[in-house]
Amino acid sequence: MPSRGGLIGRRARGLAGLAATLAATFLGLLFVTFVIGRVIPIDPVLAIVGERATAEQYAAARHALGLDRSLLVQFGLYLRDVLSGDLGTSTLTAHPVLEDIGRVFPATLELATIATLVGVLLGVPMGVSAAVRQGRLADQAIRLVGLFGYSMPVFWLGLMGLLLFYGDLGWVGGPGRLDTSFQFVFDLDVPRITGAILIDTALAGAWDVFRNALTHIVLPAGVLGYYSLAYVSRMTRSFMLEQLHQEYVTTARVKGMPEWRVVWVHALGNVLVPLITVIALSYAQLLEGSVLTETVFAWPGLGLYITNALFSGDLSAVMGGTIVVGAAFILLNLLSDLLYRLVDPRAR
Amino acid sequence: MKPLLEVEDLKVAFDTPGGRVEAVRGVSFTLGRERLGIVGESGSGKTMTGRAILRLVQPPGRVTAKRLAFDGRDLLSLPERGMRALRGRRLAMVMQDPKYSLNPVMTVGRQLTEGLRRRDRLSAGAARRRAVAMLEAVQIRDPERVMGAYPHELSGGMGQRVMIAMMLIPEPDLLIADEPTSALDVTVEAEVLRILDGLVRERGLGLIFISHDLPLVARFCDRVLVMYAGRVVESLAASELEQARHPYTRGLLRCLPAVGGPRGPLPTLRRDPGWAE
């Protein structure tokens, strides 16, 4: 048993190592996006000056972009720009890319967060119940629900959902984040604080806009949440089955602990260790911009932004979006690493 | 005097896709406040016998018996709630390897006080004092520090002492020790056994000591059951082990090397299919 001081020193070293790893990963990410930017068959100069530019105009634009210098210098300049927060200007929207992303990313973040909450709050209890009733009807039913979520393409589920709940039943709002009428109210009266529509409208007390936004987000969040639930419940079930066969579970029973405590405190405490990574990865995947879902639901998020940028040769926007997605991955990894230390004393 | 535990024709069977596997096939014995050893090789059914008494055999395992009674109460017909109350208070079990039998993500303190806090509704302070006192009873020198430690921070011997403390905290009447020292070094084994022996004597517990180590059981227990293929093949007083009659027991005894004995190869146990009948 190490002494307290030694433990703190070890922990500090561990965190310093983690920070170094993160910095290196981020640098690698920037390098990869830079290389991608140079190798994809899009000519950024052409995208700006157009096809009818003269050779002089072309050369001048090329020089202005710094593309006539050596790759190493270009990478250095790119690093300097990115680190100072300059991701370039989008040729499509004519806004700085960072500003664009600041506008679209919260929409994706809001969607992914609600979907992950749905996936975890329903998926974990479902997975645990299935494991406890292994092989019985409840287990089969839960596994079937999961399997369905696994195998249905997200765009099909989204379209069918729109058809049924919006088209036929009219229970939910249609594509987009708001009805057009509410969009005006939102644009004029609601200050953008977080960019998340539900939070901003609630903060402003604009409850009618809030309710309308809610009817719009329910379906895409539900579809993505179902997808996340399928994955989380399945992994929870298998982790739980593994833990229920461990000897410490028998120990808890020998101590006369009620079965709910054996499962939900003793076993689940150990299930959380691998589950945190699973949840973080699933969250990161949703953040990456569920391109298909955002397209089906006309959701103005990061996925839709990157896709549009890609189709119109807007290189700065593509690279900026990629960096944000990559940075989100890195941050979530860091978060899951920290949580991991919190729930597993052996990792400290 | 009423016996503490009565076991008659105990059977444990598992229905698997490959057919029915009978782990215990009709074991009978009674136990007072004495120390009973159950010996046998791996797969002889000794562990399952112990778990069946605590009703800890999980499905698809099935336990049947003509009689399985603790302190006059029939265990097989007892509802789960009543069984839980017995398990927490009067029946306890020390398992083989503290590396696996202690919850890795809970502090020792939380695991020790869990029963006191949750069932006996003791205050945090009172539960903690009881736990620390029990850790002292199993001769842990620095109980306050061990309370805050996690299982992976303890050595095997310390872990097993924590396990013994945890099981003895509710002051049970019957303790089942399932190979409590087979995961430990020989020197640590002696120490843990000495502590266990002292506590069992001092508190007058009934003890079922399950082991594959025949001489150890003979030294430690009053009476020995020898199991083979799910049955008891011989039951005798520990002091009369030398006079064992069953060929399996005799065979086991012959396989043991002796200090200063002949150095030739040890005899191999010749199994007779008739023993399993």
Domain boundaries, chain A: 16-86, 97-347
Q: Do B106 and A266 touch (CB under 8 A)?
A: yes
- Listed in order, strand segments (DSSP E) in chain B are 5-16, 19-31, 35-39, 61-64, 67-70, 73-74, 91-94, 174-178, 206-211, 223-228, 231-237
ipTM: 0.89
B-contacting residues in A 196-255 (Cβ below 8 Å)? 246-248, 250-255
Q: What is the DSSP letter of A189?
A: H
Interface check for A135 against chain B (CB to CB < 8 A): the answer is no
pLDDT at residue number A289: 60
Domain regions of chain B by residue span: 1-90+174-182+205-277
Cα separation, A116 vs A226, in Å, equals: 9
Contact B20, B60 (CB under 8 A): no
Interface check for B100 against chain A (CB to CB < 8 A): the answer is yes
Cα separation, B207 vs B167, in Å, equals: 12
With cut-offs at 50, 70 and 90, classify the pLDDT of residue B259: low
* Average pLDDT score over chain B: 86
pLDDT at residue number A6: 62
pLDDT at residue number B113: 93
**Residue from B15, B94, B105, B140 whose CB has the most chain A CBs within 10 Å, to mutate:** B105
How large is the average pLDDT for residues B30-51? 88
Which burial class, exposed, middle or buried, applies to B14 when counting CB atoms under 10 A from its CB (0-12, 13-18, 19+)? Answer: middle
Residue B115: list chain A partners with CB under 8 A. 255-257
Residue B56: list chain A partners with CB under 8 A. 250, 253-254
% chain A with pLDDT above 70:
97
- What is the distance in angstroms between the Cα of A273 and the nearest Cα belonging to chain B? 9
- pLDDT tens readout for residues A48-81: 777 788 888 888 888 887 778 888 888 888 888 8
pLDDT at residue number A341: 85
With cut-offs at 50, 70 and 90, classify the pLDDT of residue A130: very high
In this model, does residue B3 exceed pLDDT 90?
Answer: no
Residue B103: list chain A partners with CB under 8 A. 248, 251-252, 266, 269-270
Interface check for B150 against chain A (CB to CB < 8 A): the answer is yes
- Listed in order, strand segments (DSSP E) in B168-255 are 174-178, 206-211, 223-228, 231-237
* pTM for this model (two decimals): 0.85
Interface check for B149 against chain A (CB to CB < 8 A): the answer is yes
CA–CA–CA angle A121, A125, A129 (5° rounding): 165
Between B53 and A53, the higher pLDDT residue: B53
CA–CA–CA angle B122, B124, B125 (5° rounding): 100
- What is the distance in angstroms between the Cα of A340 and the nearest Cα belonging to chain B? 11
pLDDT at residue number A3: 52
- H helices present in chain A, as ranges: 4-39, 44-49, 55-64, 71-83, 97-132, 137-151, 154-161, 180-189, 197-204, 207-244, 247-254, 259-261, 268-287, 291-296, 302-311, 315-343
How large is the average pLDDT for residues B16-26? 87
- pLDDT tens readout for residues A169-221: 988 888 888 888 888 888 888 888 888 889 988 888 888 889 999 999 999 99
The second-level CATH assignment, the architecture, of B1-90+174-182+205-277 is 3-Layer(aba) Sandwich (3.40)
How large is the average pLDDT for residues A263-282? 93
Q: Answer yes or no: CATH 3.30.1330.10 is held by domain A97-347.
A: no
How large is the average pLDDT for residues B224-249? 82
Q: Do A261 and B92 touch (CB under 8 A)?
A: no
In this model, does residue A1 exceed pLDDT 70?
Answer: no
* Average pLDDT score over chain A: 87
Residue B86: list chain A partners with CB under 8 A. 256
Interface check for B160 against chain A (CB to CB < 8 A): the answer is no
C-beta atoms surrounding B42 within 10 Å: 7
Q: How far apart are the first and last CA of chain A?
A: 13
All residues at 6 or more sequence positions from B104 whose CB lies less than 8 Å from its CB, including other chains: A248, A270, A344, A345, A346, B150, B151, B152
Secondary structure in 3-state letters for B18-72: CEEEEEEEEEEEEECCCEEEEECCCCCCHHHHHHHHCCCCCCCEEEECCEEEECC
All residues at 6 or more sequence positions from A212 whose CB lies less than 8 Å from its CB, including other chains: A173, A178, A179, A182
- pLDDT tens readout for residues B63-118: 999 999 999 889 988 998 889 989 988 999 999 888 999 999 999 999 999 988 88
